[in-house]
Amino acid sequence: MSGFDEDGVNREFFPSGDLSALLVVNIGRPERRSGERPRGPRLAHGEVCTTP
């Protein structure tokens, strides 16, 4: 995910300053709560990726 608080992540997880965050990746899925809509349909690979 881009657009995250890079300085905040670095302070929290890399306080020594030896490493720094480049990207945040969310792995997993949220709990389903009542009243939430189901996940929408996803595009097929061929609909979003092209090769020359």
| pLDDT tens-digit map of 8-52 | 999 999 999 999 999 888 777 767 777 777 778 888 988 888 876
User: Of 38, 26, 36, 28, which Cα lies nearest the Cα of 2?
Assistant: 26
Instruction: Give SS3 for 6.
Output: helix
Determine the 3-state secondary structure of 5 from DSSP: coil
pTM above 0.75, yes or no: no
Q: How confident is the model at residue 2 (pLDDT cuts 50, 70, 90)?
A: low
Predicted local distance difference test score (pLDDT) of residue 16:
95
Structure confidence at residue 28 (pLDDT): 75
Domain boundaries along the sequence of the chain? 1-26
- Give SS3 for 45: helix
Give the phi and the psi of residue 6 in degrees, each rounded to 5: -60, -45
